[in-house]
Chains A and B, each alone.
Chain A
Amino acid sequence: NAGVMQNPRHLVRRRGQEARLRCSPMKGHSHVYWYRQLPEEGLKFMVYLQKENIIDESGMPKERFSAEFPKEGPSILRIQQVVRGDSAAYFCASSPGAGYGYTFGSGTRLTVV
């Protein structure tokens, strides 16, 4: 069991570009969560998805951020027109059911220059 796979591990984008972060959940897990870790804010919930459905996106910024978890393939967190404030570590987690123990991926470190 390969665990939760995130890629890329590191991503550098210029201001105004798009960032796409990918997450493949653990085998058998159908619940996916995205969290952002900023040095001064800690780990914050962004969005909770199940296959083809966004269940809760209350932690997502209203503009430029979107997430999907298609029927086939990984979950994608997309950030359009990145700004320096988007620089952070983005973690994906999966679980076999809502509220059960999470397994986190290794994260994607996004740097906006």
Chain B
Amino acid sequence: GIQVEQSPPDLILQEGANSTLRCNFSDSVNNLQWFHQNPWGQLINLFYIPSGTKQNGRLSATTVATERYSLLYISSSQTTDSGVYFCAVGEGSGGSNYKLTFGKGTLLTVNP
């Protein structure tokens, strides 16, 4: 199956700093999503981004499908950004990439 690798595994920031999280995947995909799991365990969908660039407030993401990687940018980080960030890639039969394979995540801690 497809392999998903995320880096770095852990990241500690001071409030206000910027960061870049990376996701590499082993095969071509047409479904890639970024999620944030907050300290209470909730999984929040940040982006559905199989290709191109999207922005939502302080967050943005870029996927370069031909080179098999995606980047998540967090600017002006806040303590509420703390948690685990997962990249998930879709694979499935018949062209429906519904079955997500998750990376191990990046644990982000933002200190005040």
Complex contact B96–A91 (CB within 8 A): no
Residues in A neighbouring B73, C-beta threshold 8 A = none
Interface string of B98-109 (1 = CB under 8 A from A): 111111110000
A69 contacts chain B at the CB level, 8 A cutoff: no
Residue count of chain A within 8 Å CB distance of chain B: 26
- Bound-state CA distance A48–B92 (Å) is 11
Interface string of B65-97 (1 = CB under 8 A from A): 000000000000000000000101010110011
Among B33, B43, B86, B99, the residue within 8 A (CB) of A101 is B33
Residue count of chain B within 8 Å CB distance of chain A: 25
Residues in B neighbouring A100, C-beta threshold 8 A = 48
If A48-B99, A100-B48 are given as contacts, then 14 extra A-B residue pairs at C-beta distance below 8 Å, sorted by A number, are: A31-B98, A35-B100, A43-B102, A45-B100, A45-B101, A89-B41, A91-B43, A99-B97, A101-B48, A102-B33, A104-B43, A104-B44, A106-B41, A107-B41
- Which residues of A are interface residues toward B (Cβ below 8 A)? 31, 33, 35, 42-45, 48, 55-56, 58-59, 89, 91, 93, 95, 98-104, 106-107, 109
